[in-house]
Chains A and B, each alone.
Chain A
Amino acid sequence: MNVDWKLSQEIQLLRLVTVGSVDDGKSTLIGRLLVDTKGAFEDQLLSVTTKRDAASEAEVDLAMLTDGLSAEREQGITIDVAYRYFATPKRKFIMADCPGHEQYTRNMVTGASTSNAAIILVDARNGVMPQTKRHTHILSLLQIPHLIVAINKMDLIDFNQQKFEDIRDELSGFCAKQGIHDLTTIPMSALNGDMVTVRGEHMDWYQGSTLLEVLESLEVTERVDKKRFRFPVQLVNRPQTRELPDYRGFMGSVVSGTVKVGDKVMALPSGQTSTVSEIVTFDGSPDEAFFPQSVTLTLEDEIDISRGDMLVHSDELPSAEREFSANVCWIGDEPLSERKKYSIKQTSNAVMAMVIAIEYKTDINTLEHADSDELAMNEIGRVRFKLQKSLFYDTYAENRATGSFVVIDTFTNNTVGAGMIV
């Protein structure tokens, strides 16, 4: 990591995801970013250095750097998300490298869910593929704030500006239909490094920023609700030691908004109210706490609160319903179907749920809605759930943390769905 270590304490974290179809060069792009930002070490590079044939010079196989499983190297494809880390003097990046194959779409959803930005790779020779559309649609459902389209392998189409613009216009048209307008499109040759971290010599006609310049300048937390305070309680802290016999603190993360000492808060579901008496941390007691800090809150009154409950400001209550609709990416082997029961985990809260209707299934290519009795693996649709008890939530558009949930199959215990409440 070639970071100025004096500065690196102040830099922020950006989480990003790379997606695309098979063989459009994601792993090569990430390898390129790692090499150019010195996020990969010499011995790691050496271990993936190969010769094409006996006569040629040894070169780094950039994809081998990220395909970490033996099955992946065997088949030459990416199966699961790989997380990679690199840093510049301006920012640290966590990059989720996602598989392109349709059968591994669920791993792509995993990688994308935590991201602030996405890089969508498109092979300039092939243009917009079905998988490009699928990924773009998933990214729009997940409401990834920044989408960057990298039209890669420009070297293989002689850096043709017209072809670049055709692909850009086709994809931006598709995105506009889904309400995505913040789209940055960059022509690129990841193999040569053109427009990744340096401009290169082949595309003077392109006036925009390089990929790294874009990544370094994106806003990091704009999708977080800064107003409405939400504090899902993970645990109740009761040391019961000689020094702290009666101490009760509520442990959790501030997933949105801000809380201050003296704030009136309400506990859900009980509806009881109290006042924050202290924000407790190992490093002292600050006057306020904000996203994404993990803290412990103590209250002036003894009220009933346990894991899965939520503390909020009483004038900004979330929805409390026993039924809701959600966009669902289905990632289970067994299809989702009506009348089936699942467990839903939202924040630190788990509740039983039943599918009462599949409102529609989305055709990925046309974005048209169709009737369906089930959602199979990798399908996306709008599903209505009925819950065994009320859930406290905001819509996903308002609050990523309280509007998202996972669906768990109670028989296999597997995570089978990703839900975003509408």
Chain B
Amino acid sequence: MSEHKLTQLKTLEAESIHIMREVVGEFRNPVMLYSIGKDSSVMLHLARKAFYPAPLPFSLLHVDTGYKFPEMYEFRDAYVKEIGADLIVKSNDDAISKGMNPKEFGVARCCGALKTKGLLDALEEGGYDAAFGGARRDEERSRAKERVFSIRDEFGQWDPKNQRPELWNIYNGQIHDGESVRVFPLSNWTEMDIWLYIREENIPIVPLYYAKERPMIERGAMLIPYYKEMESQFLEGEKPTQVMSRFRTLGCMPCTGAVRSDATTIDDIVAEAAAARRSERETRIIDHGSNSMEDKKKEGYF
């Protein structure tokens, strides 16, 4: 008889599947937020496993800021078509038409309008009572405090001082009308787990995660990807140079830095992640400044 022991990755997989099934059992109208990044790719892969052989019992929702990398849109459309998922794309069109951008309005206002408001409006419009997100507790210290089922009030806001106790793996999905729940099936995954799982399961990811010669603006220690259509977001005198680089996380073009890297295969990426001395969110401008993630989360950001 076999030993009946699961590896830690398979244990995490089983936990995530259990969470997703509970949500579908408890809620009327769930939706899965899909940001096209590596964590979303893993979450989506787990969802396919959870409900196999049935199709996904919910839609994917991409809150589009319009500032994502062209490679991300291409990947999104091709992959969603390949697996036969239903994708909904929503944007804060009002802010976009007014020319919202991080350079003129500041990163906080831009994120607030395009991401947080975009998300809250899309959730309200869809009437979703549960939304899956791919956030992990190891990403950032306020995320380390969040429950798997995170209750939001009718304004979509998080009250970190008054979270519902979450015991064993019994999830209380009872909410009042107007409230909703954000669910984080990857809560217990680390960046390293994500990469190991992508390798083990051959999960497709956006090619930007692999190193390649790319045109970059070098601003201080940061490498900001150069795209012609983003020219207005660069500072005076900034000129692109070709840098062998890749992205550890993917966000909006003006606010996502790259890292110098020679990692061209998934094995290289895993090795690089294992040796990394700095966190992946370091390249995300959104997190910097005191307390910023917690504030954004209270307002309704993921």
Contacts and interface: CB of A to CB of B under 8 A. Distances in A.
| Real binding pair | yes
Contact of A282 (B49, B137, B277): B49
A215 interface: no
A110 B144 contact: no
Contacts, number: 199
Interface of B: 4-15, 17-18, 21-22, 24-25, 48-55, 137-138, 140-145, 160-161, 163-170, 172, 174-176, 187-188, 190-193, 196, 200, 270-271, 273-279, 282, 291, 294
Contact of A107 (B13, B165, B275): B165
Given A68-B142, A237-B53, A109 B6 contact: no
Interface residues of A, number: 84
Contacts of A413: 172, 174-176
B11 A343 contact: no
Contacts of B50: 251, 294
Nearest to B163: A80
Contacts of A346: 170
A44 B137 CA distance: 14
A73 B271 CA distance: 35
Contact of A84 (B15, B144, B163): B144
B125 to A, nearest CB: 24
B4 A291 contact: yes
A13 B14 contact: no
A235 B25 contact: yes
Contact of B170 (A87, A251, A345): A345
Nearest to A224: B4
Nearest to A91: B8
Contact of A83 (B4, B54, B161, B188): B188
17 contacts: A13-B8, A41-B278, A66-B141, A83-B137, A85-B188, A114-B169, A251-B21, A253-B17, A280-B53, A293-B10, A331-B165, A348-B25, A406-B168, A410-B174, A413-B172, A415-B166, A418-B167
A43 B141 CA distance: 12
Nearest to A348: B25
Given A237-B54, A239-B53, A258-B4, A414 B170 contact: no
B190 A85 contact: yes
Across chains A and B, which 7 residue pairs bring their CB atoms closest together, nearest first? A68-B141, A239-B54, A294-B17, A13-B8, A41-B279, A413-B174, A282-B49
Interface string A1-19: 1111100111111000000
Most buried by B among A85, A91, A239: A85
A221 interface: yes
A5 B166 CA distance: 32
A221 to B, nearest CB: 7
A401 B18 contact: no
A252 to B, nearest CB: 7
A184 to B, nearest CB: 23
A145 to B, nearest CB: 14
Contacts of B274: 1-5, 8
B4 A253 contact: no
A406 B5 contact: no
B52 A280 contact: yes
Contacts of A4: 274
Given A3-B192, A82-B145, A109-B165, 13 more contacts: A2-B274, A5-B273, A8-B192, A42-B277, A65-B141, A67-B141, A68-B144, A113-B168, A114-B169, A253-B18, A293-B6, A294-B50, A415-B167
Contacts of B54: 237-239, 241, 244
A216 to B, nearest CB: 13
A147 interface: no
B166 A110 contact: yes
A67 B52 CA distance: 40
Contacts of A253: 14, 17-18
